[in-house]
Amino acid sequence: MRKTKIVVTIGPATDSPEVIDQLVENGMDCARLNFSHGTFESHAKIIQAVRAASKKHNRRVAILQDLGGIKMRLGTIQGQVQLNHGDKVSVIAAESSDDPKVIPFPQAEILKNLTKDNLIYISDGTICLEIISNEDGIVKCRVRNGGMISSYKGLNLPGAKIDLPVLTEADKEAIKFGVDQGVDWVAVSFVRSLEDVRYAKSYMKEVGAFAPMMAKLERAEAVGNVDEILSEVDGVMVARGDLGVEIDMVDVPVIQKNIVSQAKQAGKVSVIATQMLRSMVVSPTPTRAEVSDISNAVLDGCDAILLSDETAVGQFPVEALSVAARAILKAEEIYPYYQDLSEDTRTQAIASGAARLVKSLGAKPVVVTNSGASARQVSRFRPDSEIAVLTHDETMLDRLALLWGCTAVGVVPAERDSSKLVSSIVETLINSNTITDQDLVTIVYGLMTGVTGTTNAIQVLDMKEYLEER
């Protein structure tokens, strides 16, 4: 079984039910919906198609709602405009411009904070403008690195003061839509601090959004605040595109490794994103460097990798997914399974003990969880075996598809009688063909079933003996 999960961005190349079906069949673990694009109607159709394909192939697939956030974009430009080195242009607070020397940027409150010390990057950093002056709402610039610009290209302002809430009004409406659609994860873009996390969580709670929250780390400020961000989110995404513009790109690989390590120590999900197989947008085969990139991300210990343009707009989306899966499986052949990490809570200590038993006895790990936290903790210790996860809540099953090494099996009733609970667990595992009567099983559960944070028991069962005695 492949333990590192694959998140697939659904876009124009993959939004048909037929292609989504192929993606699920070929191993998509999580479907990412990019709310920077598309309509609620189009996203609803994709969610419906993913759920249908998941049911058809009997594979749990998570839905990740990726909010647009405070992504800064140009306004409307007439056609495409070529900027050449040394050209002088102006950036103004406007929705549109038909003058090739005037670049529209709708967010006046950001422009006013720019100084000569700031640089303006456009289109993922490929174009760079030096600021000459900022007077009367007109930011005059000189082109340092040229290129072609067009409407709505992304803009980055490293070091500039951006006093905007982490959730835009569009994000808030999208969250409400996500509640109605039952999305499994919510990714909040451009998280900078713990305050951003708390603001987003407060709003989500207000509108009844209880899906796990993932913080996208793509601003320089976030890098220095990773530990405090991790303390209150369920996962993080290393968004290397914007991050590689905000900071020196040579720092990104080291930062990526550090964030993955920090997330693992905290028992939180980590996802590596952007340009994993970028060449496969137009080519049926990747570069060797791209395959190595995936392998290194796996060996670093990330929970998942994310395909973006490769599957959203690429010519070979299913092939890209297959290549990623093959690269992961090969890397996992030399993965350092069972890792000795800190045990700061009861649940962590129990999870560690379970992982040790799996290693020493060759037992299959089973986790019964209410919120998913116990499954995350067992996953954190990286046992060399598929982790079968049972819940008391049907809505939890799809969420678990994003956790490293975890396979959601089914639902068992909450039961305070341990013998009855274990009997129900065994019955569900056998009926789903997850285990056989010849297996040795290590079960992690809580005697206060249905209550989050009460995991307090480990039980090792020789299934042959157990079934004979029952």
The one catalytic residue among 2, 73, 176, 201: 73
- What does DSSP say about strands 138-145 and 102-104: parallel, antiparallel, or unpaired? unpaired
Token reading at 396: 């939890």
The verdict on whether 73 is a catalytic residue reads yes
Instruction: Please give, one letter per residue, the 3-state secondary structure of the chain.
Output: CCCCEEEEEECCCCCCHHHHHHHHHCCCCEEEEECCCCCHHHHHHHHHHHHHHHHHHCCCCEEEEECCCCCEECCEECCCEEECCCCEEEEECCCEECCCCEEECCCHHHHCCCCCCCEEEECCCCEEEEEEEEECCEEEEEEEECEEECCCCEEECCCCCCCCCCCCHHHHHHHHHHHHHCCCEEEECCCCCHHHHHHHHHHHHHCCCCCCEEEEECCHHHHCCHHHHHCCCCEEEEEHHHHHHHCCHHHHHHHHHHHHHHHHHHCCEEEEECCCCHHHHCCCCCCHHHHHHHHHHHHHCCCEEEECHHHHCCCCHHHHHHHHHHHHHHHHCCCCCCCCCCCCCHHHHHHHHHHHHHHHHCCEEEEEECCCHHHHHHHHCCCCCCEEEEECCCCHHHHHHHCCCEEEEEECCCCCCHHHHHHHHHHHHHHCCCCCCCCEEEEEECCCCCCCCCCCEEEEEEHHHHHHHC
Residue 136 structure tokens: 């009367």
Is position 32 annotated as part of the catalytic site? yes
Amino acid symbol at 88: K
Cβ atoms of 223 and 251 closer than 8 Å? no
How, if at all, do strands 387-391 and 364-369 pair? parallel
Instruction: Report residue 301 CA to chain centroid gap.
Output: 14
For tokens 């002056």, the residue is 133
Q: Which of 274, 311, 391, 455 is catalytic?
A: 274
Distances (CA, A) of 464 to 137, 366, 468: 77, 17, 6
Phi, psi of 367, rounded to the nearest 5 degrees: -125, 130
Q: Rounded to an integer, what distance in angstroms lies between the CA atom of residue 110 and that of residue 108?
A: 5
* Catalytic residue, candidates 60, 216, 219, 376: 216
CA distance 73 to 251: 25
Active-site positions read 32, 73, 216, 274
